[in-house]
């Protein structure tokens, strides 16, 4: 009888100790084009069953009590601390199609220690500027470990030859252009070769899977103004002899198992002409969801 009572108590208690709210990801960042460069919080994605969805709509986001959460600040598989946030504009009316995606920011109340990591590499350039501090992932649950252990590495020179044809297919044979006869800036197709390629920051998992970012050498563009997408880093998944294009105009923010399913999710910063935002790659690099906004 005593065992039955203990079992009944365990069954009653079990749901309460295992149930948690939905997994939500945000970032602690210096927002692009903001008048003040203070650190703010942008809430990005929520796990809905087996998929991650962008929280870029007020109707969806308002169903979640985001300000009641204690957010974990994650970086490189480590817990950098925790934060509470406040909503300074809970009922602000949208003023344009991008309002919620671009302008909906949460504040960090004073009196808290705010973790920061200096952006010494001057990465994460956006539409307006390079942030002084790199973006850091915020997680609604203390899920910060990176079980796949993604670490930066420098690809060997032969990767230029290995990725030359795949990159040519992605960019297109005559899509890349550069300027000649400076300062007239006459644009001509650039029939680039492997020696015209450079590596950007690349990553390798503990299992040997690789994410290689490669692109055209920006010193050879010779054009004024912002570079075209073809001149950005182009990301490829390299898994032995298997190659797959992942995307371009991206920089990895961090990797971590934010929903505690045993696999790492990868968060990227994305910036292009009149567009900024974040991209989440998950499910073994097979699926992605985007949180992007424009400026005009």
Using one digit for the tens of pLDDT, what is the confidence trace for 99-153? 888 989 999 999 999 999 999 999 999 999 999 999 999 999 999 999 999 999 9
- pLDDT tier at 5 (50, 70, 90 boundaries)? very low
Residue 14 or residue 82, greater confidence: 82
3-state helix, strand, coil in the chain (%, to 5): 15, 35, 45
How many domains, in total, are found in the chain? 2
Contact by Cβ (8 Å): 249, 123: no
Q: Residue 254 pLDDT more than 80?
A: yes
Residue 268 located in a structural domain: no
Residue 296 located in a structural domain: no
Q: Residue 159 pLDDT more than 60?
A: yes
Residues 6+ apart with CB under 8 A from 116: 39, 133, 136
Among 2-6, 79-83, 276-280, the least confident range: 2-6
Indicate if 156 and 99 belong to the same structural domain.
Answer: no
Indicate if 130 and 178 belong to the same structural domain.
Answer: no
Indicate if 13 and 108 belong to the same structural domain.
Answer: yes
Structure tokens at 105: 């920011």
How much is the average pLDDT of 214-240?
Answer: 85
Indicate if 229 and 156 belong to the same structural domain.
Answer: yes
> Exposure string (b/e) for 163-175, b if CB count within 10 Å is 16 or more?
bbebbbebbeeee
Q: pLDDT tens, 9-64?
A: 443 443 433 346 789 999 999 999 888 889 999 999 999 889 999 998 777 787 88
Indicate if 62 and 139 belong to the same structural domain.
Answer: yes
Residue 163 located in a structural domain: yes
- pTM listed for this prediction: 0.89
Residue 159 located in a structural domain: yes
Contact by Cβ (8 Å): 151, 203: yes
Residue 292 located in a structural domain: no
Phi, psi of 103 (to 5 degrees): -105, -10
Measured CA to CA, the distance from residue 21 to residue 142 in angstroms comes to 12
Structure tokens at 214: 């490669």
Among 135-149, 209-223, 247-261, 274-288, the least confident range: 209-223
Indicate if 132 and 179 belong to the same structural domain.
Answer: no
Domain boundary at 144, 179, 209, which?
144
Measured CA to CA, the distance from residue 46 to residue 60 in angstroms comes to 10
Residue 237 or residue 181, greater confidence: 237
Contact by Cβ (8 Å): 89, 236: no
Residue 223 located in a structural domain: yes
Indicate if 158 and 36 belong to the same structural domain.
Answer: no
Measured CA to CA, the distance from residue 149 to residue 252 in angstroms comes to 14
Residue 213 located in a structural domain: yes
Contact by Cβ (8 Å): 26, 138: yes
Indicate if 14 and 130 belong to the same structural domain.
Answer: yes
Indicate if 168 and 243 belong to the same structural domain.
Answer: yes
Residue 274 located in a structural domain: no
Q: pLDDT tens, 165-222?
A: 999 999 886 678 888 876 666 888 888 999 999 999 999 999 999 999 999 998 888 8
Contact by Cβ (8 Å): 251, 124: yes
Q: What angle do CA 82, 153, 132 make, to 5 degrees?
A: 45
Nearest Cα residue to 291 out of 101, 79, 91, 51: 101
Residue 266 or residue 89, greater confidence: 266
Domain boundary at 115, 144, 173, which?
144
**What do you get for the CA distance between the two ends of the chain, in Å?**
71
Indicate if 14 and 84 belong to the same structural domain.
Answer: yes
Q: What is the pLDDT of residue 6?
A: 45
Domain that holds residue 192: 152-248
Indicate if 116 and 171 belong to the same structural domain.
Answer: no
Measured CA to CA, the distance from residue 133 to residue 8 in angstroms comes to 52
Which 8-state DSSP code applies to residue 285? T
Measured CA to CA, the distance from residue 293 to residue 55 in angstroms comes to 12
Domain boundary at 144, 177, 200, which?
144
Indicate if 221 and 205 belong to the same structural domain.
Answer: yes
């Amino acid at each position: 009888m005593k065992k039955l009572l203990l079992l009944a108590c365990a069954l009653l208690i079990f749901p309460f100790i295992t149930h948690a709210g939905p997994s939500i990801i945000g970032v602690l960042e210096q927002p692009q084009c903001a008048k003040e460069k203070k650190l703010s919080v942008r809430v990005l994605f929520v796990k809905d069953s087996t998929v991650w969805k962008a929280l870029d709509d007020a109707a969806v986001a308002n169903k979640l009590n985001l300000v009641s959460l204690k957010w974990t600040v994650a970086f490189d598989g480590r817990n950098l601390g925790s934060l509470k946030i406040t909503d300074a504009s809970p009922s602000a009316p949208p003023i344009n199609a991008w309002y919620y995606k671009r302008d909906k920011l949460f504040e960090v109340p004073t009196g808290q220690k705010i973790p920061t990591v200096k952006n010494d590499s001057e990465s994460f350039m956006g539409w307006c500027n390079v942030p002084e501090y790199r973006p850091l992932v915020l997680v609604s649950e203390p899920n910060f470990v990176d079980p796949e252990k993604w670490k930066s590495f420098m690809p060997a020179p032969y990767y230029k030859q290995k990725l030359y044809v795949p990159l040519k297919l992605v960019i297109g044979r005559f899509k890349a252009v550069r300027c000649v006869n400076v300062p007239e800036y006459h644009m001509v197709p650039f029939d680039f070769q492997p020696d015209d390629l450079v590596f950007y920051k690349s990553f390798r998992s503990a299992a040997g899977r690789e994410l290689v970012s490669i692109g055209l050498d920006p010193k050879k563009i010779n054009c004024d103004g912002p570079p075209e997408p073809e001149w950005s880093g182009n990301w490829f998944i390299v898994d032995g002899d298997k190659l797959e294009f992942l995307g371009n105009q991206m920089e990895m923010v961090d990797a971590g198992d934010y929903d505690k399913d045993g696999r790492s999710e990868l968060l990227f910063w994305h910036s292009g002409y009149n567009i900024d935002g974040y991209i989440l790659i998950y499910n073994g690099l097979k699926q992605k969801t985007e949180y992007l906004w424009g400026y005009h």
